Structure 1
């Protein structure tokens, strides 16, 4: 019953304020991914460095919330465009596998690179990085992340586009994306540590 009540409340909110609803839901789920990532990192640090007390970075989670809240309405509009451009069902109600394949291909060829670019650039800006640092982040992380994306997300999006109603596609994507956000958060964090070490070394040499 509780799940039905939540679904009804979400549907009503989406019907009246779609962008705000997607922003809050997407931001919360993206932030959750970073919480999981930080907990994972802290457990690992505690095991490897027994004397170190893990530190939780609330600002980092806030950055992920802001990114998720900003991207989710954009993804919602993208899903609406795909719904219009590649209708799945014919007059007889059968699903067109050709249209489904085109939706997934368009999503992965167009939106996946855009989303990853916005993530790396947006995180770099919110972290206060200069242009050279952001370029270094793209150079070190982009290829690895986009290849990992193409290994995982096509299967997720086939389920999403085929089975989920339009209002629920972004939350479904962001729910699955908790684990993807875990991956991106760990990847981004490792790059932060690398850049901090490089900055400290450069200051020492200067």
Structure 2
């Protein structure tokens, strides 16, 4: 494990965006794979067709890779704009709370809109009406669920994770979040 951690650190230091893109893309595919395995099992038990959707996993890979640079820059912004340490070297709980609040008020709705919009486009929703329906079906339930889960995760992330590990940490926690989004996205897609 130490060898892997050292390799990751070296890769991050030399190519941060590429390292984060590979990490985030991989975690997104794992999450969608878990979602599809869950759906597969459910479909097999109900007698419905159970087929692996490689294109769907590909969409999650593209989204995960594409989001990594944006996440890297956002984390850098949070780090520099809201320093955690006071002049005495103590952690400021107020600064930590501001980090989480700014993340959840500014970035979470934006990132979720990117997810819904890009997934909709990659799924073939080309008209404004079709994409609007996708947002209507998925965005608000996902945003409300986000606000129930992610503030605590980001509290831990912003307090304890060094900058280079923030995207991998959220990607790891995000396996379950992406599992939820994947299932919600697929459910709404089939519901239509």
Q: 2:10 aligns with which of 9, 12, 21?
A: 12
Offset at residue 93 of structure 1 (A): 2.0
The residue aligned with 2:141 is: 144
Offset at residue 75 of structure 1 (A): 0.7
Based on CA coordinates, which of the two structures has the bigger radius of gyration? Answer: 1
* Aligned residues: CA RMSD: 0.9
Offset at residue 183 of structure 1 (A): 0.4
The residue aligned with 1:99 is: 95
The residue aligned with 1:63 is: 59
Residue 15 of structure 1 aligns to a residue whose secondary structure is helix
Deviations 1:57-109 (A, max 9, x none): 11100100100100011011000000000000123321100000000000000
Deviations 1:102-139 (A, max 9, x none): 00000000000001100010001111112221110111
Normalising by structure 1, what TM-score? 0.90
What pairs up with 1:108-123 in 2 under 5 angstroms? 108-123=104-119
Normalising by structure 2, what TM-score? 0.97
Q: Distance in 1 between matches of 2:115 and 2:183?
A: 13
In the alignment, structure 2 segments of 5+ residues that lack a partner are: none
The residue aligned with 2:45 is: 47
Q: Distance in 2 between matches of 1:54 and 1:194?
A: 17
Offset at residue 167 of structure 1 (A): 0.2
Aligned length, in residue pairs: 191
In the alignment, structure 1 segments of 5+ residues that lack a partner are: 196-206
Q: Distance in 1 between matches of 2:82 and 2:126?
A: 40
